[in-house]
Structure 1
Amino acid sequence: MPAHFRQREGQTTVPIFKFKKSFLYTSMAILAAGGVNAQTSEAGSENTRAIEVIQVSATKRVTTIRETPLAVTAFDQNALDDNHVLQLDDLQGIVPSLHIAQNGTQNTPMVYVRGIGSSDQTESGDPAVAFHVDGIYSARSQGASALMFDLEGAEILRGPQGTLFGRNATGGVVNLHTAKPKLDYFEANAEITIGNYDRRATRAMVNLPLSETFAIRVAAAMDKSEGYVDMAPGSAMGDKYGATDLSATRISAFWQPADNFDWFLSYENFNDQGTGQIPTITGGSSRSAYIQEPGFNDFVIDSFRTRMNYNFDSGITLSYIGGYTDSSRESVWDRSWSPDKYEWGGCVECTHEATQHELQIKNEDSARLQWMVGYFYFKENNSTHFDIVHPDVDYEGGNTPNPNLWSTYRQPDRGLKSNSIYAQSTYKVTDEFRLSAGLRYTEDERWDRGGRNIMCPDVKRTENLPLNSDYVGLLDPDGLLNGLAPNKFLVQPGQCWVDTYNDTSPSWDKTTGMARLEWDFTPDVMLYASYATGFKSGTIQDGNRYTGEGPFTQADLDAIIAANNNETAGTNAYVAPEENTSIELGLKGSFLDNTLQLFAALFTTEYTDLQVTSNVLTETGADLLRKTNAGKATINGLELEAKWLVGQNGELSGSMSYLDAKYDEFFTTDSSYGADGIAFNPSAGNPALPNLLDFSGNHLVQAPEFSLSLNYAHFFELSNGATLKPKVRMSYSSEIWFDPANRGDRPEGFRGLPYAADIDRQDAYAKWDASLTYEPSEGNWSLEAFVNNITDEEIKSDQGRWNSNPVPNYMWQAPRTLGMRLKVRFD
């Protein structure tokens, strides 16, 4: 099976680059010259230390990270512990071009790689960075919030991975590999963490070899803390927003009855009982908010994963990778964060079920022509019911006034089925040159059956929808609406009505591919050039309304469904797929007797129909997530990663990312605050399209132009043989935009706002972390003290909305946190 471990290393049409030629040539010349200069100086080095390398499965074959011709950052469990990585969010600042924001209502991270991601975490959307655990794809990025514990490794692949990993990997891939049971020895460990904000966390693992062919492994983790957002005076009583209450347990088994067959099976349960995240309004404190509805979250994920490998005498390996995930969520969150109005929403019942089957056949790694073929099947079913209250919203134009409008969203059967086949091969032209090529064909089907957006005058109606009356019978002779009015104009007092009918069944197919050339410039330096394409499936949106005067019949419903499926007429209830092409030049080298490691990637990526998500305030007062397709976007960039063993006791590491990420062609409505009919940034409008704004040339969201991370650790040997290791890390980011509008600064008083500076961006910032670890000479334990965000910087993570009122509000990164961590090993 693919695995991570540490060991000592023995002493289609290609798009035109939009880089300036001088930048391209100069960058590659510096990289090549660096390889030559560093290589020639190795002979003079007498350092006995060597960088421990990590093996990865980014190519679905086990290779060392230096020999992997991809932009990939990888960690084993020791490295994750050393960098305090307990959740996916913790990888931000240590992986080039990776940025993670929090979604408050869905309580899940939004992952962006090289400026590509998605802020739509609902059942209708997909992430643009694919998330895999033990080869099992997670379509709902809520799975990314699971605790990262007892892992063999974590890999972050940057750039489109459309051949081996398929759909929804246009930005990249996050691969997690859980630790597998070991047959040959017993081991166990435990860890306890305490900290401010009443932080209490534990992790434990035990590996039990029960025979020469069978072993089991049990691991568990728990993490609890108070929230960061204080309750302003007058708030409702309850736990603070941002409070965490996470727990997970994993039981895995490994059976190897013969040398040519093995079987891995695991079950994992994850629970999130925290309060969820909440934005705070600008102009006040990032650490407090007026709360009228305390947060509640009950999120459970059950996952089964398995893999079987059979090795034939010919050297061919047949593998089956299967998985099943079942999740359910109930939640409540405050939507106003202010005493001026009372508004809240909640997931009454949201369930998700996913099944994956994959068959993979490949020949042995040592073959001159390596090949791999596979079949992938994925299906998910979602059932969603969530409600939002809109007090003091009168649905103008309706038959009756509704001063306390409630919207309820019912999607009883929304799902996806995906089938794909793929093939990839690598040919060793010589000992120094290798050529690789691959193709993947994907067919996707999506559906929404019976989905309805329903408006009600009060919450009681949402819980008791049927209204049996003669009037209803006359309007609904075919019994299609279960007592609902077919639209707002046919409402009787106290009756709910259907705002939109969301039935649709779009399908897409796409062939993606890659081509790559690798050259071993020296035995320790590899250069590569690659071309790759990616494909992100289209997504479903809310459908059309019934505009007739009744009665509502099956023919009327069929006409609405036809309109929902009509892309030509522009009435479709879905968004087109997103596609990209990427060219990448890379260098991976070990220098100075393997005490210096340098990786570099220079790339350009062109997107068509880039899916962009924003909030839309509808005429009913509902605040919905909607997607549009940005016509075109281009991302140019350079990434560097380095590690240097300084002398006999120091270690310096770091990464740098430069991104030039902009929309080339993007006309859209300014949906964030468009309900009053006034463009928030009228200067961006195109006179030829008076109802649209031109965001062409604007920066992509979550894509800072420059980011940098530097880490230094030093090992001090004490007189008693113990080791003391201080470590410090600095993370820097240039300004980050949160909205495609790129509003930026506005003068004080703009549109009546007393505070409008940096309205949709985070200014450049630097964050410092430090730790000190003590480990006895022959002990089985270690003690660490740590502090993160030492200077307690207030750093925005993402921008939220407050309905039609253009008061910006933000999600925030964690404030200063500190604590102690005790680890114990039992061998």
Structure 2
Amino acid sequence: MKVLKLKPSYLLTTLALCSAFGVAAQVAETTKASDGKDDEGRAIEVIQISATKRVTTLRETPLAVTAFDQKTLDENHVAQLDDLQGIVPSLQIAQNGTQNTPMVYVRGIGSSDQTESGDPAVAFHIDGIYSARSQGASALMFDLEGAEILRGPQGTLFGRNATGGVVNLHTAKARLDGFDANAEITLGNYDRRATRAMVNIPLSDTLAVRVAAAMDQSEGVVDFLPGSAMGEKYGSTDLAAARFSAFYQPSDKFDLTFSYENFTDNGTGNIPTVTGGSDRRSYVQEPGFNDASSDSFRTRINYNFDSGQQLAYIGGYTDTSRVSVWDRTWSLEKYEWGGCVECDHEATQHELQFKNDDAERLQWMVGYFYFKENNSTIFDIVHPDVDYEGGTTPNKNLWSTYRQPDRGLESNSIYAQSTYKLTDDWRVSAGLRYTNDKRWDKGGRNIMCPDVKRTEVMDPNQDHVGYMDPDGILNGLGPNKNLVQPGQCWVDTYNDTSPEWSKTTGMARLEWDMTDDVMFYSSYATGFKSGTIQDGNKYTGTGPFTQADLDAIIASNNNEAAGTAAYVAPEENTSIELGMKGLFLDGTLQLFAALFSTEYTDLQVTSNVVTNTGADLLRKTNAGKATINGLELEARWLVTENGEFSGSMSVLDATYDEFLTTDSKYGRDGLAFNPSAGNPALPNLLDFSGNHLVMAPEFSTSVNYEHFVGLESGATLKPRIRVGYTSEVWFDPANRGDRPEGFKNLPYAADIDRQDAYTKVDLSLTFEPSEGNWSTEAFINNVTDRDIKSDQGRTHGDAVPNFMWQAPRTFGVRFNVAFE
């Protein structure tokens, strides 16, 4: 295990912050003693969570977990998962354009592959139902009981690909204790209009229903450059969701919760631009279009035995479909576009949990988890400017269609975890999980065509959408590029494969209550992320193409020993963590700390590669080894009678220990940024060892302060400020930084795959009357309109790099009213 390395400036900052907490604590105690003020009426709220699949308070849970209730989410203007960045330690979120979905990284671990070939490294759950597709993380966060973000590998209770962490959303359940309703409207710049509403209705002493809905719309932030094809601007938002839930409890022994939720996303998605903030412009040849819809059914059944034991069933089904168009242009000279012609996803989950009473000295839980997903995908890309033939007669109208009619996964797990109270102050916990994953691709083909078979199709809103004609390629496909007739399409890769992996992961933990208010814990945990499928092998024969040839390719796609497998091995990690959670200063200061070291083997990384036939492929590899050392702090402090500080800090040392690969953007020219691996047989092989992991800033912090101001009328004003700082962030494991002058005959360019250190400021002012259940708020986010990159764009070495960007300056007002 590597020793935690902190730069002197960050170490001094850490010590200064800790000292400031101590000095502030002494000042607060002195002030309280001298002015005689009684703060007994104020207390830090107790948040209950289920991160251990038992209901515990946040402070009593021996995990690195950040939790919010709906009120705190609203105060931080969290409408989607993206909005959590800056208020959760070590959480970074990038935005994918083609998939229109967030890419979540925790402690430097995430995935840039949002396709059906693999899974995210940060597991996402709603009411205990796992979402294998990252598009599920785009859901609106409304009418929640709470949100939990667990950091680090969760190898027992949440073992499904949770090497980086877990995001748990808990929707508000229908309640039997009375009628309740609320409504909210938000208006802002970029023509933002957002509404939310909820009503809870008890139908009897045993049955209640709840209906909640939300909508969030805004115009795009990217202006059109002259000559663009006009349409809806990129960066627009058009999200809507509706949820119906029911709760039935005929006795203390039995209860059932059921919910149905529909979510739609008709926004344009984002597009890379050269500049960020509110000054974004692009030459658009295909306006963005997205028509995504998801239907989810979720249920939980609990049965409580007289002995105190509980049996629970958690089941869910999700059906998602998407059609999209996205401008993939690299520059003004390079034009391409593509999207989902037909992308469908179905997933089913069944889970059984059996556990004993929480009050037992030995707490135990056993469970079985089953998950299956099926994906059918047709994803097309047009490359009008790709020279795939070379010579003096290049073809400039290439079309790629990626057809995966049956890609899927079946996962089975059994798990067990227990906690034993050694004494009143000491506890020991241990857990194990066995996972078996089977992936498959049946009939998957990457097809290339020398001409675009395009038809004009109108969507239900009569907006123009260009689709590919699927019937134009299915008759007489050539088995490879060399065996085609003029104008004929050919199979570039055959992707059939069927890998299977099994792994046992687990954790061990020791807890100590130093006092009633201060707990320490130490833990050792292992994580496992299933392998991922990638594009298969080509047919290199001269024909005729027979079933035996296909069988040979499929065998090659499954031959890991020969290095020809059409999949990438799983990644594994181990983590050691020391943590402290405590209340100080008579309960007015809450402080959490976590010191951790995580080691990865076969870390999965992904990059775009354009082949010599013009195909744009996501290529994956295992990066060898990586080590992540870090320190995280979270604090809430009630200052005087009316003020409250809260904040978090993260220090990360995240580097690749072993990573020999090729530069996907510059090839051999990547030597300008990274040294050669020294293998004469592979002259393009570079050594990325020592480079920083992507989306893992060495230092980040967020500080919030809010103050309650009482008016003579009895009303209350609450001004609030949040200031966040993040050191430089890398977007590519090559860590290229600045492009030197004259490199590949290109001019100098700064920060071609990184975001420099930045500060972001948010302000708000809330008014609550002395009477009446309503409030209103005015807010400004990103006050200085700071242009903050969230990922690199598809420049492929062009002269002017472009990037994906975080939101520009936004402002607006929000009005909320409750009914009882």
TM-score above 0.5, yes or no: yes
Q: How does 1:485-564 map to 2 (within 5 A)?
A: 485-564=478-557
- Please say if residues 399 and 490 of structure 1, whose CA atoms lie closer than 8 Å, have aligned partners that are also in contact: no
Q: Answer yes or no: is 1:455 the counterpart of 2:441.
A: no
Q: 1:316 aligns with which of 294, 304, 309?
A: 309
Match of 2:61 among 68, 73, 76: 68
The equivalences for 1:796-807 within 5 A come to: 796-803=789-796, 805=798, 807=800
1:643 aligns with 2:636: yes
Q: 1:749-770, CA deviations, whole angstroms, 9 ceiling, x for partnerless residues? A: 4333334111110000000000
> Partner of 1:678 in structure 2?
669
Which letter maps to 1:294?
A: P
Residues in 2 aligned to 1:800 and 1:561: alpha-carbon distance in whole angstroms = 34
Partners in 2 of 1:679 and 1:17 — Cα distance? 28
Counterpart position of 2:370: 377
**2:581 paired with 1:575:** no
How far did 1:41 drift? Answer: 9.6
Deviations 1:532-570 (A, max 9, x none): 000000000000000111111110000000000000000
Is the 1:167–1:534 contact (alpha carbons within 8 Å) kept by the matching residues of 2? no
**AA of the residue aligned to 2:426:** F
Kept after mapping to 2: 8 A contact 1:706/1:733: yes
Distance 2:60 2:197 in 1: 33
In the alignment, the residues of structure 2 paired with residue 245 and residue 644 of structure 1 have an alpha-carbon distance, to the nearest angstrom, of 38
The answer to whether the Cα contact below 8 Å between 1:227 and 1:242 also exists between their aligned partners in 2 is: yes
Q: Does 1:439 align with 2:424?
A: no
C-alpha contact 2:335 2:385 (8 A) present in aligned 1: no
CA distance in structure 2 between the aligned counterparts of 1:534 and 1:283, rounded to whole angstroms = 37
AA at the equivalent of 2:801: P
Deviation at 1:592, TM superposition (A): 1.3
Q: Which residue of 2 aligns with 1:85?
A: 78
Q: Distance in 2 between matches of 1:21 and 1:107?
A: 36
Name the TM-score, length of structure 2 as normaliser: 0.94
Contact 2:674 2:688 in 1 (8 A): no
Match in the other structure for 2:229: 236
Alignment match of 1:291 (pick from 257, 281, 284): 284
SS at match of 2:53: coil
- Paired residues for 1:192-231 under 5 Å: 192-231=185-224
Q: 1:35–1:589: 8 Å Cα contact kept in structure 2?
A: no
Give the C-alpha shift of residue 822 in structure 1: 0.3
What's 2:133 paired with? 140
1:687 corresponds, among 659, 674, 678, to: 678
Tell me how far 1:228 sits from its aligned partner.
0.9
Q: Displacement, 1:393?
A: 2.4
Aligned partners of 2:58 and 2:29: how far apart in 1? 21
1:686 is displaced (CA, Å) by: 2.3
Deviation at 1:339, TM superposition (A): 3.2
Using the TM superposition, give the Cα deviation of residue 34 of structure 1 relative to its aligned residue in structure 2, in angstroms. Answer: 8.6
CA contact (8 A) 2:6 2:653 kept: no
1:4 match: none
Cα-to-partner distance string for 1:274-302 (whole Å, 9 max, x where unaligned): 11110113699951111011000000011
What secondary structure does 1:783 align onto? strand
Amino acid at match of 1:747: P
Matched, 1:625 2:625: no
* Equivalence for 1:719: 712
Tell me the residue number matched to 1:368: 361
Deviation of 1:607 after TM superposition, in Å, equals 0.2
Q: 1:192-213 deviations in whole A, cap 9, x for unaligned?
A: 0000000000000000000000
Question: What secondary structure, in the 3-state scheme, does the structure 2 residue paired with 1:370 have?
Answer: strand
What amino acid is aligned across from residue 675 of structure 2 in structure 1?
A
Matched residue of 2:344: which SS?
strand
User: Relative to structure 1, is the Cα distance of residues 25 and 712 closer, same or farther in structure 2, using a 3 angstrom cutoff?
Assistant: closer
**Distance in 2 separating the partners of 1:110 and 1:456:** 31
Please, which runs of 5 or more residues in structure 1 have no aligned partner? 1-15, 468-480
CA distance in 2 between partners of 1:336 and 1:799 (Å) = 14
Structure 1 position 396, deviation (Å): 2.6
- Distance in 1 (CA, whole Å) between partners of 2:165 and 2:518 is 24
Match of 1:767 in 2: 760
Instruction: Give the match for residue 484 of structure 1.
Output: 477
Match of 2:691 among 687, 693, 698: 698
Question: For 1:44-97, what per-residue CA distance to the aligned partner results, in whole angstroms no more than 9, with x for missing partners?
Answer: 765212111101100000000000000000000111111111100110000000
Residue matched to 2:600: 607
Native 8 Å contact 1:130 1:174 kept in 2: yes
Distance 1:165 1:94 in 2: 23
Native 8 Å contact 1:387 1:408 kept in 2 = yes
Residues 646, 703 of structure 2: 8 Å contact kept: yes
Q: Structure 1 37/775 Cα, relative in aligned 2: closer, same or farther at 3 Å?
A: closer
Measure, in 1, the Cα distance between the counterparts of 2:327 and 2:293.
21
Please say if residues 438 and 513 of structure 1, whose CA atoms lie closer than 8 Å, have aligned partners that are also in contact.
yes
Q: CA–CA distance in 2 between the matches of 1:394 and 1:275? A: 29
**Is the 1:296–1:332 contact (alpha carbons within 8 Å) kept by the matching residues of 2?**
yes
Report the count of equivalent residues. Answer: 797
1:214 positional shift: 0.2
1:74, 1:326 → 2: CA distance? Answer: 28
Counterpart Cα distance in 1 of 2:816 and 2:489: 57
AA partner of residue 39 (structure 2): N
Q: CA deviation at 1:113?
A: 0.3
SS of structure 1 residue aligned to 2:244 = strand
Match of 1:333 among 315, 326, 330: 326
Equivalent position to 1:47, from 39, 52, 64: 39
Q: Which letter maps to 1:618? A: T
Q: Normalising by structure 1, what TM-score?
A: 0.93
Change in CA separation of 1:371 and 1:328 when aligned onto 2, cut-off 3 Å: same
**Are the counterparts in 2 of residues 400 and 491 from structure 1 also a CA contact under 8 Å?**
no
After the TM superposition, which residues 266-277 of structure 1 pair with which residues of structure 2 at under 5 Å, given as runs?
266-277=259-270
Give the Å deviation of 1:22: 13
| Corresponding residue of 1:817 | 810
Q: Percent identity?
A: 78
- C-alpha separation between the residues in 1 aligned to 2:674 and 2:418? 52
Give the aligned residue type for 1:606: E
Q: Contact 2:400–2:449 at 8 Å: present in 1 too?
A: yes
